[in-house]
Amino acid sequence: MLKLQFKDQRLPAVWLVESITTLGSDPKNLIVIKEDGIEPHHAEIRKDGDALYLSDLGSFKGTFVNGTKVGKHFQLRSGDVIKLANVELLIVEPKAVAEKPKSVAPSVRSDWSIMALSGPLKGKSIMIHGSMVFGRSSSCDIAISDAHMSRRHAEINLKGGVLRIVDLQSSNGTCVNGQKVGEQVLKPGDKISFDHLTFLVAGPVGAAVAQDDEDDDDEATVFRAAPIPRAPQAPKPTVRPIPKASPAAEASVSAPQAKSKAPIIIGALVVLIAVVAGAAFMMLQK
């Protein structure tokens, strides 16, 4: 059994045992909230067996669950956070809180959600519970204010662990992974499109999205050639400088050379004198 508890604990928690629990600023409501932005008849929670369903009653500021605006017949779960204007209320299960958790093996959760990749809800994750209608009308479970959405565009339902989407004869159609569908079973990783609005399907924790191995390129292995060892180089010969001769030795070498040239010079002078004398004699004969 669940309780509705104010987050700031301004009022005592209320057991959700009534068939209809009304919330608003009007004193006739079962839960009266005097706060700016709260309508006289803002929202209601209906009990159907063990299930609880929240509906917005046409309020101006809307009704939100876990940050997502909801319309009619939104199924509530333990841990959900309801926000009316600036007031936050928690759905709690006292028995679960009081009991000491048992040591059990971790199990795979059955929660499914879709995340908005574009449009007014971009970045928000919407938990899927039971059957949920998406559309432009405020009466839808997930109301999306967009001109390309039909009033009741599509329905997403979760039954027996199988998530399915059904197009409700919308004007612009419903697509899954780019293909227009009337009804389609969804799997984690699928992309849902309501015209230009796109949502990504996220499955239970631990569910794997199949990937095509052919798309994965094998990394090339790079081999580096080992460096070739160089032959050892022979040591360079040492060149010793030739000692320079002393001035005395140079003089001793130059003296014989000067003596050997003296006869040549004398002979040349004799020839020159003879030529000059011959030339003078010839001139005297004339």
Is 66 a domain residue? yes
Mean pLDDT value of segment 180-207: 87
Beta bridge partners of 44: 22, 55
Rounded CA gap, 214 and 160, in Å?
33
Q: Is residue 238 part of a domain?
A: no
Which residues, at least 6 apart from 59, have a Cβ–Cβ distance to it below 8 Å? Answer: 39, 42, 43, 84
CA atoms within 13 A on the CB side of 276: 6
Q: Which two tokens stand for residue 96?
A: 């679960």
The band of 219, judged by pLDDT with boundaries at 50, 70 and 90, is: very low
Residues 6+ away with beta carbon under 8 Å from 278: none
In this structure, is residue 103 part of a structural domain?
no
Domain boundary residue among 31, 62, 92?
A: 92
Q: What is the CATH number of the domain that holds 38?
A: 2.60.200.20
**In the predicted structure, residue 262 carries a pLDDT above the cut 80:** no
Residue 117, SS3 per DSSP: coil
Q: Which residues contact 18 (CB under 8 A, 6 or more apart)?
A: 30, 47
The Cα–Cα gap between 138 and 104 comes to 42
Q: Which domain holds residue 158?
A: 113-202
The model carries a pTM of 0.41
119 shares its domain with 185: yes
- Does position 240 have pLDDT exceeding 90, yes or no? no
Are residue 14 and residue 71 in the same domain, yes or no?
Answer: yes
Instruction: Kindly report, residue by residue over 133-189, the tens digit of the pLDDT.
Output: 999 887 788 888 888 899 999 999 998 889 999 999 999 999 999 999 999 999 999
Report the pLDDT value the prediction gives residue 213, as an integer from 0 to 100. Answer: 41
Q: Token pair of 46, please?
A: 């209906």
pLDDT value for 126: 86
Q: How many domains, the chain?
A: 2
Question: Are residues 192 and 152 located together in one domain of the fold?
Answer: yes
In a domain? residue 253: no
Distance CA 103, CA 87 (A): 36
25 inside domain: yes
Q: Is residue 230 part of a domain?
A: no
